[in-house]
């Protein structure tokens, strides 16, 4: 069954990247599993929200999805490392010109503006550099926090890549001389685009992290201690008395390490989620009624 990712995020098909990101963050917080414990439907909804953002939040994936709908993944860019793109399309150049605008747009988004073999044109943004070959590398938020070593097998060569702590989503690293063999006998550069996968507990904004902390009604009213799990350790915090639902506490320096400045960290913002008792004993109810009469 085709999934309408725009409908899942509650945005229209002309939404900007910022509008999509804003809608995702709002829904991710609203449907977070910690707010709906033991609720399988809420968990599935949360997964759909993440899936929708992973597509619509990526310009290339979104373009293919807009053109092809639910079948967009079946037409991801193939690898032609051992073939010449121009040779492949030379024989069918004249036969496909009338197929239609959608197909032409898709081919351009997949193989570039010069897929018919003509000179490459620059549209919006920077034209692709023929001396660069870009691949995407998925890592977890934990790996981005600590830094990690990755092994990549590409062009019959095994590369060992060291990623520093604090690396950002969509950050691109240049590995010189490890790209494709070029026609002039040299070798191009490999561009490694980092994709930090969504996390079930944390939402990252730059070097800061956001998390929800469920606390009991009694802790919210009377104050008390609560434990917050950071990416480094478990921290015990003090919840002030009469803390309202949705209140945000800032834990300075408990966020992501800053890239190229590993001794510095962003902050962790803890949003309080007050859990209302699902059921009261007769004695508890009597006490609440007594409190109600006093107020």
User: Is residue 217 assigned to a domain?
Assistant: yes
Model pLDDT for residues 215-269, shown as the tens digit of each residue: 999 999 999 999 999 999 999 999 999 999 999 999 999 999 999 997 899 999 9
State the total domains in the chain.
2
Q: Are residues 213 and 270 in the same domain?
A: yes
Q: Are residues 175 and 194 in the same domain?
A: yes
Model pLDDT for residues 84-111, shown as the tens digit of each residue: 444 434 434 444 443 444 444 444 444 4
User: Is residue 269 assigned to a domain?
Assistant: yes
pLDDT interval class at 74 (50, 70, 90): low
pLDDT at position 75:
54
Model pLDDT for residues 10-58, shown as the tens digit of each residue: 999 889 988 998 899 889 888 887 788 888 888 888 889 988 898 898 8
From CA 254, how far away is CA 269, in angstroms rounded? 9
pLDDT interval class at 72 (50, 70, 90): low
pTM: 0.58
Question: Of the candidates 179, 198, 217, which is a domain's last residue?
Answer: 198
pLDDT at position 281:
93
Mean pLDDT within 160-184: 92
Domain at 270, CATH number: 2.60.260.20
Q: Are residues 207 and 257 in the same domain?
A: yes
Q: Are residues 228 and 272 in the same domain?
A: yes
Question: Over 50: is that where the pLDDT of 205 sits?
Answer: yes
Q: Decide which of 79 and 192 is more confident.
A: 192
> How big is the CA angle at 251 (ends 245 and 253), to the nearest 5 degrees?
155
Question: Of the candidates 198, 216, 238, which is a domain's last residue?
Answer: 198
Alpha carbons within 13 angstroms on the beta-carbon side of residue 169 total: 18
Domain that holds residue 260: 203-282
Decide: 138 and 197 in contact? Cβ < 8 Å.
Answer: yes
Q: Are residues 145 and 194 in the same domain?
A: yes
């Amino acid at each position: 069954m085709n999934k309408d990712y725009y409908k899942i995020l509650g945005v229209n098909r002309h939404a900007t990247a910022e509008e999509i990101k804003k809608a995702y963050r709002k829904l991710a917080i609203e449907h977070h599993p910690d707010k709906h414990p033991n609720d399988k439907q809420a968990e599935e909804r949360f997964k759909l929200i993440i899936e929708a953002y992973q597509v619509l939040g990526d310009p290339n994936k979104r373009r293919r999805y807009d053109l092809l709908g639910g079948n967009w993944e079946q037409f991801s860019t193939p690898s032609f490392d051992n073939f010449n793109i121009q040779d492949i399309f030379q024989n069918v150049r004249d036969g496909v010109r009338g197929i239609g605008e959608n197909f032409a747009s898709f081919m351009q988004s997949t193989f570039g503006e010069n897929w018919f073999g003509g000179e490459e044109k620059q549209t919006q943004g920077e034209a692709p550099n023929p001396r660069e070959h870009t691949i995407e590398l998925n890592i977890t938020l934990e790996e981005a926090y600590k830094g990690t070593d990755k092994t990549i097998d590409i062009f019959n060569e095994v590369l060992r890549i060291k990623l520093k702590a604090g690396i950002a989503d969509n950050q691109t690293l240049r590995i010189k001389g490890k790209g494709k063999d070029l026609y002039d006998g040299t070798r191009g550069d490999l561009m490694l685009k980092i994709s930090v996968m969504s996390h079930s507990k944390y939402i990252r904004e730059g070097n800061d992290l956001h998390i929800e902390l469920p606390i009991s009604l009694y802790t919210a009213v009377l104050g008390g201690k609560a434990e917050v799990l950071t990416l480094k350790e478990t921290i015990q915090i003090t919840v002030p008395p009469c803390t309202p639902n949705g209140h945000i506490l800032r834990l300075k320096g408990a966020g992501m390490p800053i890239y190229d400045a590993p001794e510095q960290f962003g902050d962790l913002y803890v949003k309080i989620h007050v859990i209302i008792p699902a059921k009261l004993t007769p004695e508890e109810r009597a006490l609440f009624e007594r409190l109600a009469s006093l107020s």
